[in-house]
Amino acid sequence: MQNSATPTHCPYCALQCGMNLTPQQDGGVAVVERPDFPVNRGALCGKGRTAAAVLAPGVRLTSPLVRSGGTLVPATWDEALDRVAKGLHRTRTEHGPDACGVFGGGGLTNEKAYGLGKFARIVLGTSQIDYNGRFCMSSAAAAGMKAFGLDRGLPFPLEDIPRTGCVILVGSNPAETMPPSLRYFTELRENGGTLIVVDPRRTRTAEQADLHLAPRPGTDLALALGLLHLIVAEGRVDEEYVQERTAGWEDARAAAMAHWPEYVERITGVPVPQLREAVRMFCEPEHAMVLTARGPEQQSKGTDTVGAWINLCLATGRAGRPLSGYGCLTGQGNGQGGREHGQKADQLPGYRKLDDPAARRHVAEVWGVDPDSLPGPGRSAYELLDALGTDIKSLLLMGSNPVVSAPRAAHIEERIKSLDFLAVCDVVLSETAELADVVLPVTQWAEETGTTTNLEGRVLLRRRAITPPEGVRSDLEIMHELAARLGGERALEKGFPTDAEEVFEELRRASAGGPADYSGITYRRLAEENGVFWPCPAATGAADDAGDSEDASLDAGPDDPAQDHDTDAAPHPGTPRLFLDRFATPDGRARFAPVSHRAAAEEPDDEYPVLLTTGRVVAQYQSGAQSRRVDELNTAAPGPFVELHPRLAARLGAADGDPLAVISRRGRAVAPARITTAIRPDTVFMPFHWPGEGRANTLTNPALDPTSRMPEFKTCAVRVEPVQQ
């Protein structure tokens, strides 16, 4: 244990807030403010302040578990690892490599995500790997790639938000999902800028807005098209910018002109005067931004919806210019980095495409394998989970809890139960881990060193502050041991080191020249510079091919990051702001999305007359596997609820706190009523952090976006009934 505070980052959301960990007499740590980190400037939410609680031995796993006689019992590491290796080997031998599935998480460090993708492809030889980040911002990523040729959550730092003139915040509630970020929007208004919030609920964030638009869930696409129609009709298009820096405007304009204001009002429920006011507020300032989050993205038309919001920025000349642009507020802690380095079904490290021959050659050379030996793209997250027990017989799951977090969760729980073999690596005994044949306890954020990439594209260094308890190993050690058992010395020769910095050195080489180029980033830089924005290529004259690990000080401890490579060339400064000179498309022009409104995959009818939308509360995080183990957070948010409007409550004869059954075509959930005028009368809301009878994702629709393969979490048809007590 250190004698002084260790600077590191919060294990929860994509802000990756800076914090200091100070040692305690009992061997644990206390979380204290770290004002020097620019993203949160010392501020922490309740989850961040209590993050150390999950490190306690009584809360987390400290021994491997194996299933014996239907029960999980403690086991030695050799016994547990042998059983995992035998289960995966048996499946691969009897059914082929693609019968082995791998499912990762958006909270894994860059090194773990990189290692997991490599392990799946060269040890197991399977194409069947994806991760829960697919459920986070894949629609925004797909739309960003189409429009700009590159996807990074925010193409500018958060510090630009208070300096712009207007922000349209679509389907995001940062007051509850990432509270320290709310100060940026508060400062925006203090500086004379305006905030427009688009959300079917009057959330704590919407209460801060200058204008709140409350569309019917699933109609965000029509809303964006209606605003673009008015921008054209009112002569607010930046024609010079459109001509010089974009392509595809004519088709996009034609599609928008079919969405006149009164038509959009009928679809969305947003009055025409509010549409006109939103256009005025957005177009009059010199600078403006559109920021989206899960609301418009978690739809079966999420890619088109985000594309329509990007169109507003392009038509008004607000992309690729200082203090303007489109950005996505990524949710999970390493949702950005987690998809950049190979645990996504169709990608290789550096954000390279798996079906690109040049990308395959580059990564295969780094890995020391034949490019033809690499499997092709596999199934997306929901499709992979849906195939469990049929095409996929065994699953290695690392850092995810799909029993609670997946859409149509009861079905996915049954698919998991039907597996021949399930191994789970996790910090706690999650609802998914409880179903496993083997559970491997892993180190946590404060017990290991590694990197993450926050929503700005800022690569950060998490430092080890305490020694993990006896009986716990890192995910990197687990992959090393399994590679030895499954692939022998040949697999280890391909590189499965247990030291995070050594893995990062290889990641640098693998990412070099790719869209997400980390080759100019080192642990020393990350320690000294409070993070580095990618792309950051290696400086000319630096170590060959983005840094040779033999030249790095890889024996440095986690609190003494390796020294940078010796070179006379100045290091690349990183790229806080993208697209200022050109977009990342072949011709440097941004692409408009020629999209039109279409209905959600499931609309209300006589049997299911109400819309359900889901989301988060401030005191819990994602599936709640960790946050539900913290007493302070459970006191603040003890369980699920159904938020509904007084008019709907009156029709049901329901009072505040009465148990309500919410029923969809996929299942039934029960939770107490929370009656409020902050939601539309035709809509109910449920948070998704809890298992059991209040599990919101029992109800949600797995209908997939055709491009991003994002499920439609944000809208489905339900009926609501009182429960007789």
Domain assignments of the chain as residue spans, ordered by start: 6-55, 65-133+334-499, 138-331, 610-722
From residue 212, alpha-carbon distances to 199, 284, 483 in Å are: 7, 18, 53
Distance separating alpha carbons of residues 679 and 377, to the nearest angstrom: 41
Residue-level pLDDT at 568: 57
Q: Domain 6-55 is in which class?
A: mainly beta
- Class for domain 610-722, per CATH? mainly beta
Please provide the average confidence, as pLDDT, over all residues in the chain. Answer: 93
> Tokens 């490579």 appear where?
565
Annotate 201-227 with three-state secondary structure. ECCCCHHHCCEEECCCCCCHHHHHHHH
Q: What percent of the chain has a predicted confidence (pLDDT) above 90?
A: 91
What CATH number does domain 138-331 carry, 3.40.190.10, 3.40.50.300, 3.40.228.10, 3.90.1010.10?
Answer: 3.40.228.10
In this predicted structure, the answer to whether residue 94 has a pLDDT above a threshold of 90 is yes
What's the pLDDT at 494? 76
Q: Tell me if 542 sits within 8 A of 570, measured CB to CB.
A: no
Lowest-confidence segment of 99-108, 240-249, 339-348, 539-548 by average pLDDT: 539-548
Helix axis angle, 302-315 relative to 249-257, nearest 10°? 110
Q: Would you state the pLDDT for residue 541?
A: 52
Predicted pLDDT at 606 = 97
Do the two domains 65-133+334-499 and 610-722 of this chain adopt the same fold? no
Q: Between 552 and 131, whose confidence is greater? A: 131
Q: Write the pLDDT tens digit of every residue in 640-651.
A: 999 999 999 999
Predicted confidence band of residue 548 (pLDDT cuts 50, 70, 90): very low
* Residue 199 pLDDT: 97
Which of the pair, 272 or 559, is modelled with greater confidence? Answer: 272
Query: Is the pLDDT score of 557 beyond 60?
Result: no
| Sequence-separated (6 or more) residues with CB below 8 Å from residue 524 | 561, 562, 563, 564
For residue 338, pLDDT beyond 50: yes
Helices (H), 159-271: 174-177, 182-190, 220-233, 239-245, 249-257, 261-268
For residue range 353-376, list pLDDT tens digits in order: 999 999 999 999 999 999 999 999
Per-residue model confidence as pLDDT tens digits over 199-216: 999 999 999 999 999 999
pLDDT tens digits for 26-80?
878 999 999 999 999 999 999 999 999 999 888 899 999 999 999 999 999 999 9
Q: Give the residue from 393, 392, 418, 415 showing the smallest Cα distance to 402.
A: 415
Asked whether 222 and 268 are in contact (CB, 8 A), the reply is yes
Q: Which of 143, 170, 531 is nearest to 303 (CA)?
A: 143
Q: Where are the alpha helices (DSSP H) in 399-546?
A: 402-405, 409-417, 475-493, 500-511, 523-529
Q: How far is CA 15 from CA 44, 119, 449, 456, in A?
A: 10, 28, 18, 8
What percent of the chain has a predicted confidence (pLDDT) above 70?
96
Q: Name the pTM for this structure.
A: 0.93
Q: What are phi and psi of 720, to 5 degrees?
A: -120, 130
Half-sphere exposure of 208 (CA within 13 A, CB side): 22
Choice among 264-268, 336-340, 413-417, 457-461 with the minimum mean pLDDT: 336-340
Domain at 65-133+334-499, CATH class: alpha beta
Lowest-pLDDT choice from 3-7, 12-16, 228-232, 318-322? 3-7
Backbone phi, then psi, for 177, in 5-degree steps?
A: -85, -35
Q: Is the pLDDT of residue 553 over 90?
A: no
Cis peptide before 535 (omega within 30 of 0): yes
Could you report the per-residue pLDDT of 98-108, keeping only the tens digit for each?
Answer: 999 999 999 99
